[in-house]
Amino acid sequence: MKQIIPYGNADKLFDLHGRTCFIVGAGGIGATIAKAFAQKGAEVIIADINAHEAMQICANIQAEGGNAHTYTIDVTLKENVVKVVETVLQQFGKIDVLVNAVGVSATDSAVDFNEKAIDRILDINLKGSVFLNQSIGKVMIAQRYGKIINIGSIGGVLNHTTCTMPYSISKAAVHQLTRSFAGELSEYGINVNAIAPSWVHTPMMENRETAIYEGIRKGVPFGRMMAPHELIGAAVFLATDASNFVTGITLYVDGGYLSCKPLY
Ligand SMILES: NC(=O)c1ccc[n+]([C@@H]2O[C@H](COP(=O)([O-])OP(=O)(O)OC[C@H]3O[C@@H](n4cnc5c(N)ncnc54)[C@H](O)[C@@H]3O)[C@@H](O)[C@H]2O)c1
């Protein structure tokens, strides 16, 4: 009989064995994705400005038998990003997957938002994302292969939380830069996509005012904040051959918030 699935076994579509995955941002979301990718057989490289954080995640993965390494990186410094990417390439020979899970937020009224705070958010979330996509994009062009996953946010689509104007601007930019890079890198067989979560239970969401938790309970159709591990499926899909014909999209993992928020 004619083989209708060229891989023979559809499970191979989601395989990460032999893949070198560079995960930038060792916070709640990055660490969870790094751990999941290692469990699926990938060689995982974790980079963060907080070396201690990255080393802890790395040690945790290694203790479970996974293959993990760490680097310190500051995504706001282009030369530093280029240097770290060069070093990773020298050591591992290739970078198959980038997960850009760096990000910061702050709250203030739109009319009063402090200029330094705006600069910090845009430098890290927006320019940092550009620098990562540029540096890794060049590596992937030379390889004629690669998968880039940027972590956006529903805040890049609508005014999801009050008083987070620069964060929302930065995330709208992440979704748009994803499309720009996807368009230009498609001829080299490179996929560039974004995942836009709603509210995720990570350090970024700690110490927020209680009103936000009540708002999430009422406003998100599933009635709760998501756990970081609920992003693993989307990340594995976009990192593997399962998504070879998918590029330039923003995949919303939001408990139904954007598409089916009931009025009452
Ligand atoms: N937590 C949420 O509710 C949520 C929702 C939607 C989108 N996101 C996005 O997901 C991504 C990850 O968020 P998280 O919840 O894991 O946050 P987190 O605060 O747990 O982790 C963010 C990580 O970024 C690192 N970082 C900050 N500045 C850096 C720099 N200059 N260079 C390198 N690393 C730097 C921090 O050290 C930290 O480890 C972010 O882009 C965030 O905007 C989070």
| Structural domains of the chain ordered from first start | 16-253 (3.40.50.720)
β partners of residue 18:
none
**CB of residue 153 inside a 6 A radius of ligand 1:** yes
101 Cα: distance to centroid of ligand 1 (angstroms)? 6
Distance 49 CA to ligand 1 centre (A): 11
Give yes or no for residue 48 CB within 6 A of ligand 1.
yes
Asked about 167 being catalytic, the answer comes back as yes
Report pTM.
0.97
Ligand 1, atom 41: closest residue by C-alpha = 103
pLDDT band at residue 262 using 50, 70 and 90 as cut-offs: low
pLDDT at 177 over 90: yes
Ligand 1 lined by 205 (C-beta under 6 Å): yes
Ligand 1 atom nearest to CA at 197: 6
Task: Give the 3-state secondary structure of 83-147.
Answer: HHHHHHHHHHCCCCEEEECCCCCCCCCCCCCCHHHHHHHHHHHHHHHHHHHHHHHHHHHHHCCEE
Q: Enter the DSSP assignment of 200.
A: B
pLDDT attached to residue 189:
97
The 10s digit of each residue's pLDDT in 143-163 is 999 999 999 999 999 998 888
pLDDT tens digits for range 198-222: 999 988 777 777 888 888 998 899 9
Q: Which residues pair with 146 in a beta bridge?
A: 190
